[in-house]
Amino acid sequence: MGLTRVPLTIRSGSGDHRFAVDIAATFEEQEKGLMFRRSLGPDEGMIFPYDPPQEVAFWMKNTLIPLDLVYIRADGQIARITRGEPMSLQTLPSGEPVAAVLEIRGGRAAELGIRDGDLVNWQR
Assign residue 64 the CATH number of its domain. 2.60.120.1140
Give the phi and the psi of residue 101 in degrees, each rounded to 5: -130, 130
List, for residues 7-31, the tens digit of each pLDDT value: 999 999 999 999 999 999 999 999 9
Whether the CB-CB separation of 94 and 71 falls below 8 Å is answered with yes
Count structural domains, the chain.
1
Residue 120 pLDDT exceeds 70: yes
Give the phi and the psi of residue 79 in degrees, each rounded to 5: -80, -40
E-assigned strands of the chain? 4-12, 15-23, 44-54, 57-58, 67-72, 78-84, 92-93, 98-105, 119-122
Which comes out higher in pLDDT, residue 1 or 94?
Answer: 94
Amino acid at 11: R
List, for residues 41-97, the tens digit of each pLDDT value: 999 999 999 999 999 999 999 999 999 999 999 999 999 999 999 999 999 999 999
The reported pTM is: 0.96
Cα gap 85→33, rounded to integer Å: 15
Residue 66 belongs to domain spanning: 4-122
Cα atoms in the Cβ-side hemisphere of radius 13 Å centred on 33:
21
